[in-house]
C-alpha cells in the first residue's frame, strides 16, 4: 500500500522486492520439503510394511495387536503429512479436467459438514457468467476444504457466515500489491474466494501464512495453506490475500482459463 510519503513507483519496487524474497524463500522450503517427503515415504513404507506382516502372525497376543494398530494409525497420519509436504513442493501429479461447479460445491459442502462449529454458517455463490473451470477435481476440492477449515478456525469464538464465491475474476487496483505471485491479467481467469468474519491476520504474519507448520491459531497445524499454495502453483494460478485484524480475511484463488475455453464461453 502506498504511503503519503512514498511515490507509486517506489511502492511498486518495494512490493516487487518483498515478493521476490518471498518466492525465493518458498523455493528453498519446497526443495527441503520434497526431500523430507521422499525420505519419509521410504521410512514409512518399511515401518508400515513390516507392521502389516507382524499383525498377520497368529502368535500375536491382544496387547501386541493393539500396539500394531496404533503403529498403523500413526503411520497413516505421517503418510498424510508427507503427502502435504509433497503437495506444497508441487511435486505431485495432477489431471485437470473441466469441472461441474455444482458437483464441486456439493462435494465441498459434504466434506466440511462435520467441522462447522455452532453459530457458523457456510454459503456458496456460483456466478451465472462463470467461464469454464479446468482443474484436478480432488485437488481443487482440497483447496476449498483447506480454506474453509482455515476460516472456521479463525472464527473459533465468533459467529457468522463463511462465504464461498465461484466467479469470473475482476481485477481490483489493490490486487497487484496483495497477490503472492506477480499478477498477470492477460486472458480470462476464474476466481474462487473464501471470505470469513474471523479475527483477521496481523500484518507482521501476512508473509508467513504459506510457510509449512506456521500457524497463528491454537487448533491449526499449519499445513492447510502451504498445501493450497502448492496446488495453486501446479495449476499456474495465483493467490490474493486481503485481511484486516478484527474484520476477517478473504483468500482469493485465481486459476487461468484456457484460451480456447474462454473463447467458447463468450460465443
Position 207 in a domain:
yes
Asked whether the predicted pLDDT for residue 136 surpasses 90, the reply is: yes
Domain end (from 55, 88, 121): 88
Question: Residue 111 maps to which CATH number?
Answer: 3.30.565.10
Same domain? 223 vs 183: yes
Position 226 in a domain:
yes
Query: How does pLDDT run across 218-229, given as a tens digit for each residue?
Result: 565 678 999 999
Position 58 in a domain:
yes
Please state the φ and ψ torsions of residue 241, each to the nearest 5 degrees: -115, 120
Query: How does pLDDT run across 32-47, given as a tens digit for each residue?
Result: 999 999 999 999 999 9
Position 82 in a domain:
yes
Same domain? 126 vs 181: yes
Same domain? 180 vs 235: yes
Position 3 in a domain:
no
Position 76 in a domain:
yes
Query: How does pLDDT run across 63-91, given as a tens digit for each residue?
Result: 999 999 999 999 999 998 999 998 998 88
Q: What is the mean pLDDT of the chain?
A: 87
Query: Pairing state of beta strands 97-98 and 134-135?
Result: antiparallel
Domain range spanning residue 110? Answer: 97-266
Based on the structure, what is the number of domains in the chain? Answer: 2
Same domain? 48 vs 179: no
Same domain? 147 vs 26: no
Q: What Å distances lie between residue 224 and 139, 188, 259, CA to CA?
A: 12, 27, 30
Position 1 in a domain:
no
Position 221 in a domain:
yes
Q: Kindly report the length of the chain.
A: 267
Same domain? 112 vs 54: no
Same domain? 140 vs 260: yes
Same domain? 127 vs 17: no
Same domain? 110 vs 84: no
- Secondary structure (DSSP) of the chain: ---TTS-HHHHHHHHHHHHHHHHHHHHHHHHHHHHHHHHHHHHHHHHHHHHHHHHT-TT--HHHHHHHHHHHHHHHHHHHHHHHHHHHTT-S----EEPPHHHHHHHHHHHHTTTPPTTEEEEEEE-TTPPP-EE-HHHHHHHHHHHHHHHHHHTTT--EEEEEEEEE----TTHHHHBSSPP--SS-EEEEEEE--S----GGGTTTTTSTT--SSSS--S-HHHHHHHHHHHTT-EEEEEE-TTS-EEEEEEEEPPHHHHHHHH-
Same domain? 101 vs 60: no
What is the pTM (predicted TM-score) of this model? 0.82
Same domain? 142 vs 109: yes
Same domain? 74 vs 134: no
Query: How does pLDDT run across 142-167, given as a tens digit for each residue?
Result: 999 999 999 998 887 878 999 999 99
Contact 104, 134 (CB under 8 A): no
Amino acid at each position: 500500500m502506498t504511503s503519503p510519503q512514498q511515490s507509486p513507483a517506489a511502492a511498486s519496487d518495494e512490493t516487487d522486492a518483498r515478493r521476490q524474497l518471498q518466492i525465493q524463500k518458498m523455493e528453498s522450503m519446497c526443495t527441503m520439503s520434497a526431500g523430507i517427503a521422499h525420505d519419509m515415504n521410504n521410512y514409512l513404507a518399511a515401518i508400515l510394511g513390516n507392521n502389516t506382516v507382524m499383525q498377520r502372525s497368529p502368535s500375536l497376543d491382544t496387547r501386541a495387536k493393539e500396539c500394531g494398530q496404533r503403529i498403523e494409525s500413526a503411520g497413516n497420519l505421517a503418510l498424510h503429512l508427507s503427502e502435504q509436504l509433497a503437495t506444497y513442493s508441487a511435486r505431485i501429479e495432477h489431471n485437470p479436467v473441466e469441472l461441474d461447479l455444482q458437483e464441486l460445491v456439493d462435494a465441498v459442502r459434504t466434506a466440511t459438514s462435520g467441522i462447522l462449529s455452532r453459530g457458523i454458517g457456510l454459503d456458496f455463490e456460483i456466478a451465472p457468467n462463470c467461464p469454464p473451470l479446468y482443474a484436478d477435481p480432488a485437488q481443487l476440492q482440497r483447496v476449498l476444504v483447506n480454506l474453509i477449515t482455515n476460516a472456521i478456525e479463525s472464527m473459533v469464538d465468533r459467529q457468522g457466515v463463511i462465504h464461498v464465491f465461484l466467479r469470473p475474476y475482476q481485477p481490483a487496483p489493490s490486487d497487484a500489491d496483495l497477490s503472492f505471485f506477480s499478477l498477470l491479467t492477460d486472458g480470462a481467469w476464474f476466481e474462487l474466494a473464501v471470505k470469513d468474519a474471523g479475527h483477521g491476520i496481523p500484518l507482521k504474519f501476512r508473509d508467513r501464512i504459506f510457510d509449512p507448520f506456521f500457524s497463528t491459531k491454537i487448533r491449526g497445524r499449519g499445513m492447510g495453506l502451504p498445501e493450497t499454495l502448492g496446488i495453486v502453483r501446479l495449476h499456474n494460478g495465483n493467490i490474493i490475500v486481503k485481511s484486516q485484524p478484527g474484520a476477517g480475511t478473504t483468500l482469493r484463488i485465481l486459476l487461468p482459463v484456457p484460451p480456447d475455453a474462454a473463447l467458447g464461453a463468450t460465443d
